[in-house]
Structure 1
Amino acid sequence: MVNKPQKTKLSSVISLSHSESTRIFEKKSDLEVWSAFDKGDEMAFNYIYRGFTPIMFSFGIQITNNVDLVKDCIQNIFIDLRRKRGALSEVISIKSYLLKILQRELFRSIKKESIHSIQNIELPESAFLIEVSHETKVIQLESETEINTQLKMALNQLTARQRQAIVLLYEEGMSYREIAEVLEFNEVKSARKLVYRAIESLKQILKN
């Protein structure tokens, strides 16, 4: 449980000018931004917090519809990261790192709050359901409503894990290496294989 002084401190930090932190860090690599944050740069922290919390929330709410839980997990993650400054590991992709630890934190919280003892938490099959519209990034098509409906139905017949990979690749624009980090695969080829199988399954569903 987070005490009040820590929350107050975090609140005061994120009130810093985001436009100023963006100006300073937007052209720097994730490695440089993270290194600055680890060394205590409050502008770097503000840039990371303000820039990535919306992405984290959108990702988390697809795992669980408990909005308060997602918000609490995000808050706790950043408080914990601030506490560990000076001893943080090197981070190449901030987005994939934050999504990975958010998913882990959500699974841990869901397991803790569950009435039954759950040994392994996995994505529910309702996770990462995909809405298809003319503007979607998943598949750039100018299509009729009927085709969009068929495509949505086909996408949502994939497993939750396959949909998650598709969302990370096409919606979030992540590389296979970043997807492997989020999904905690030991090898990048595992992420490629998951996406390949998802696309092959999608083709087969549409064909049928």
Structure 2
Amino acid sequence: MKKRLAGMEEKCLWQDYRAGNILALSNIMQSSYKDLFHWGMRLYGEKEFVKDCIQEVFLNLWKQHGTIGEVENVKGYLLMVLKSHMLRELSNKHQMLQASIDDDYTFAVEFSADLRMIEEENEIYQFRTLEKVLNTLPQRQKELIYLRFYQNLSFEEIAAVMNLGRQSAYNLFQKSLNSLRKNWPVLALMSLLFGV
């Protein structure tokens, strides 16, 4: 698995992919696969389904390489495309309308294994407590927190992935933080999320 690409390197590879370079698309896939897989598992916890959807997304991207436009943030775009594809597949799989499934998926927050290997018990306790508090939030708020802090997306990118306006994304973020403040001391939350 390749390391994550820097923004400019991603954009250059995207341009090469659009020009018909399949190796560029392969590099994008290899560098973004881990993030896409984590994202997909948060949306729907069936590994094989998520893996299949990621492959289908990249196959479709290759088919569209001559007609697809430029994107500002490749990772944000891929997260949005994967979510749309998964929801469409789930809709087909369960013969439901897309509108009835958009806000009906489950989204769980779970920190990666490297965070679980923290040796100090106090830090482990704080991360587990934060995980529990985050999982008390409504689905859309958990999704937004995940995109903002785990995927480091801007509010514009989050709005695109979640199909919201920028102001709506910001308002939902503020609502999420207010909910967290009720369940967690503000200073502890700020130190964990922002490293203050």
Tell me which of 167, 178, 181 is aligned to 1:203. Answer: 181
Secondary structure of 2:54's aligned partner? helix
Q: What's the TM-score, normalizing by structure 1?
A: 0.74
Query: Aligned residue for 1:184?
Result: 163
Query: Aligned residue for 1:139?
Result: none
Tell me which of 44, 48, 53 is aligned to 1:68. Answer: 48
Secondary structure of 1:70's aligned partner? helix
Query: Aligned residue for 2:89?
Result: 109
**Could you tell me how far 1:48 is from its partner in structure 2?**
0.5
Tell me which of 71, 76, 80 is aligned to 1:100. Answer: 80
Any unmatched runs of 5+ in structure 2?
186-196
- The answer to whether the aligner puts 1:193 opposite 2:166 as a matched pair is no
Query: Aligned residue for 2:151?
Result: 172
C-alpha distance 194-96 of structure 1, shift in aligned 2 (>3 A): same
* Contact 2:22–2:62, Cα closer than 8 Å, also in 1: no
Query: Aligned residue for 1:6?
Result: none
| Partner AA of 2:142 in structure 1 | R
Any unmatched runs of 5+ in structure 1?
1-17, 137-141
**Could you tell me how far 1:130 is from its partner in structure 2?**
3.5
C-alpha distance 184-118 of structure 1, shift in aligned 2 (>3 A): closer
| Partner AA of 1:172 in structure 2 | Q
* Contact 2:91–2:98, Cα closer than 8 Å, also in 1: yes
Query: Aligned residue for 2:32?
Result: 52
C-alpha distance 33-113 of structure 1, shift in aligned 2 (>3 A): same
Secondary structure of 1:105's aligned partner? helix
Query: Aligned residue for 1:160?
Result: 139
C-alpha distance 47-117 of structure 1, shift in aligned 2 (>3 A): closer
**Could you tell me how far 1:143 is from its partner in structure 2?**
3.9
CA distance in 1, matches of 2:112, 2:32: 24
CA RMSD of aligned residues (A): 2.8
Q: How many residues align?
A: 180
The structure where helix makes up a greater share of residues is 2
Secondary structure of 2:158's aligned partner? helix
Query: Aligned residue for 1:13?
Result: none
CA distance in 1, matches of 2:155, 2:11: 18
Give the fraction of aligned pairs with identical amino acids, expressed as a percent.
24
C-alpha distance 47-202 of structure 1, shift in aligned 2 (>3 A): same
| Partner AA of 1:205 in structure 2 | N
Rg (Cα) greater in structure: 1
Query: Aligned residue for 1:15?
Result: none
Query: Aligned residue for 1:88?
Result: 68
CA distance in 2, matches of 1:123, 1:111: 12
| Partner AA of 1:204 in structure 2 | K
